Amino acid sequence: MQPSRRWVLATIAVVAAARASTNNCTDATHEETYIGELQKKLATKHTQPNPLTSQLLKAQLIAALTPSTAEKLKAQAIANLYKRCLNRDDPARRQAAITEMTKLADLALHFGRHDALKAVAKIAVAAKTRTQTNTGGSAVVKAIAIDTTNNGITKSVCHIEEYSTAPNTGANHQHWATQQLTLRKLEPVTGADSNTPNAAQLCVGAQNSECTGQGAYVIVQSGPLFKSTAAANPQTGATKTNAASLTIYLGDDKQAQQLAKLDAELISATKEAATVSACTPQEQLDDLDFLEDAAAAADPGHKRPKADSSNKQNLQMTVKKLYGDQPSDFESKFWKTFDDLLVPTKTENKIEKKKFSAIAGVKQLRQSLELAAMMAIIDNDAKKTATCTAAVATSETTACAKKLKKLTPKKVMVANGTALQRQQETTANRKDDKKEVNKISATECTATEEGKCAKKVRLE
């Protein structure tokens, strides 16, 4: 390896190690905590799967595993319904996530301005003790400096990306729920050319005094350069229970109004679940595709009608017969009937079957559905190589067995005859066999035996 390449790789490793070891948020300020906790809660809200996803997977599992065609269609109708509900929800959920995260970015922008203004709010002129002015020809010079004892400048390097995953963000996050933003706007101090205690002033005063009378001493009196006043309306952000004030500085009342609105909307968003459609069968009786699917499940021949205004009410009644009259009936009328259905599950390398009622969670449901699909393919492949069972092939009591038997030419035994006579009689018997075989309809076979025989014919 070339030295330059080794140097690059070593540098990358050092940078990566430094990033991995950063621990910048253990003493996060209240402001960082406020934005960081909001981000965590909104991220959790918008990364949780739609509850309908687990319902969809359950319906798909039932459709895959239940042996009855009618029950399969009944479950598939529900699966199709949930897919459509999810497809309707997804755009709304994505848009809500974008909107709320954009609002969070706007809020962070106001907090960034506040972080700068927080230092401005604390700017004060440092005091300078008196200096005699009549000491000779030299000018008397006094520096105008900022009081550095409490300058308000923030030096934290905690950022939201790190905060969102940091195991330790200090104690301030415990107070997030009660932090109520108190909005204050900053204005420059006007100042006055008259003696004003605790104001930033330069004066020539008397000995042993500050700006109290004519004298020969130059004095710089300490005082602030900016003042804050409560925002006009509103004066706070979202209302909190047992509120603890968190002062936020702004440039004017319009900024305060923007911030208050953003804060109220985002706090409200953390308390609201993401969009989930009402998707029980009883709540989707205007979904014509669902009405058609349900009708196919209920029909003895599983014919799928075309839903329109002429038959809509009848099809809606079919839905209620299948799934119950009210949304509250859906659980007992549909889901509970499959509690004992055996579902494949996997623990480490062991595959075993559990009752449907014991399967929960999107991850486990998805795994079971994948296992069911794989096992169905394997089972189907095994069936393709199978022939009719010995019982079907040899049975004398079913039409299938008779049909198979009649296809075998009869052996003709002639004690006293020529080979030609035996051939003629054998040919005649075969013709009779064919006529008899043709009389046997395939419908005389039972469904199971007919299927096995059909496989045998295909394979042979």
Nearest to 450 by CA among 390, 388, 360, 406: 388
147-151, 260-264, 300-304: range with lowest mean pLDDT: 147-151
Confidence of residue 89 (pLDDT cuts 50, 70, 90): very high
Radius of gyration of the chain (CA): 42
pLDDT score at 184: 97
Identity of the residue numbered 181: L
Q: Which helix (H) or strand (E) holds 77?
A: helix 69-122
Cα separations (Å) of 445 from 437, 450, 453, 457?
13, 5, 9, 14
Cis amide linkage into residue 344, ω under 30° from 0: no
pLDDT in tens, 35-81: 999 999 999 999 999 999 999 999 999 999 999 999 999 999 999 99
Identity of the residue numbered 219: I
In the chain, where the domains are located: 342-352+360-385, 390-459
The two tokens of residue 403 are: 């049909």
pLDDT score at 373: 92
pLDDT in tens, 227-237: 999 999 899 99
High-pLDDT (> 90) share of the chain, %? 60
Cα separations (Å) of 109 from 21, 105, 259?
28, 6, 10
User: Rounded to 5 degrees, what are φ and ψ at 340?
Assistant: -95, 0
The pLDDT of 209-222, averaged and rounded, is 79
pLDDT in tens, 387-433: 445 445 544 445 555 555 545 444 444 445 555 555 555 555 556 55
Tell how strand 244-250 and strand 179-188 pair up.
Answer: parallel
